[in-house]
Amino acid sequence: MEKMKRAERMVAITQVLMLKPNVLTPLSLFAERFGTAKSTISEDLMAVKESFILSGQGHIETVSGASGGVRYIPEIAPEEAKQFLSRLSELLSNKERILTGGFLYMTDLLFDPSVLRPLGLIFASAFRDKLPDVVVTIETKGIPLALVTAEALGLPMVVIRTGNKVTEGSSVSINYVSGSSRRIQTMSLSRRALEPKRRVLVIDDFMKAGGTALGIRNLMTEFEADVVGIGVLVEARMTEEPKLVEGYLSLLQLKELDFYTGKTSVVPVVSY
């Protein structure tokens, strides 16, 4: 292969790093692929790093030592996150989203990759320093949100099933009362899905009274897990009634939803 120029190497390095967020690539891999000295690669990397700092879209981390290398940590610029959440609030504050029973229709947004990707980065930035080992959610609508968060953090995802559908060996089930249905429901998780004593980040799409989050917390104690964070996209805040769980982070608040007047209001949480 013809020897590459500096600019070409820098683009190639950027590509490799961005394709595998959070994955450590040894410098020797680049040196071999481009047929150059490791010191040349180090110089290329310095310039690539600089470019990431300027853009605010994540940063390049170097880990030294024999098993070291370089990796891309995806991030979202705070200003971009703010603008994005404000736009999302407007989209959700549309009266056509009010469903019978006083629910807010969010499914189209929760299943749209272009909406999910920034949300994953926002949750990742908020919880990265809690050092979670795994992202846990409950089926169904929270799954895409949990997945993009897990990917931004470089972690696996675990999905709790509702009901007793688990066919995967022995499982743990608990009962809980979901705020939206006000019925006693069951959630289950297979023993083989989550090792004991993990640091767990819980991600879900919506919190009303917090019954589901409390249920997940209780289920996690059965796995001796340490719940290091709870993140929800939208929290219902129509009364001052306290939630059943504390210490969670919500990105948006549903302040008003009136089925009869057709008024609805979703606002971003100012500091998260």
Binding site for a second copy (CB under 8 A): 6-8, 10-12, 14-16, 18-20, 23, 47-48, 50-52, 54-55, 57, 99-101, 103, 105, 107-108, 111-114, 116-117, 139-140, 143-144, 147, 150-151, 154-159, 161, 167-169, 190, 192-193
Phi-psi region of 153 (alpha: psi -120 to 50; beta: other; left: phi over 0): alpha
Nearer to a second copy, 143 or 202 (CB): 143
DSSP state of 63: E
Q: How far is the CB of 130 from a second copy (least distance, A)?
A: 19
Q: How far is the CB of 194 from a second copy (least distance, A)?
A: 10
Q: How far is the CB of 242 from a second copy (least distance, A)?
A: 26
**H helices of 56-176, where?**
78-92, 107-110, 113-127, 143-153
Q: How far is the CB of 173 from a second copy (least distance, A)?
A: 16
Nearer to a second copy, 15 or 39 (CB): 15
Cβ atoms of 252 and 82 within 8 Å: the answer is no
Cβ atoms of 71 and 24 within 8 Å: the answer is yes
DSSP state of 96: G
- Count of residues making up the chain: 272
Q: How far is the CB of 214 from a second copy (least distance, A)?
A: 21
Nearer to a second copy, 57 or 265 (CB): 57
Exposure letters 23-56 (e unless 16+ CB within 10 A, then b): eeeebeebbeebebeeeebeebbeebeeebeeee
Nearer to a second copy, 27 or 48 (CB): 48
Nearer to a second copy, 82 or 267 (CB): 82
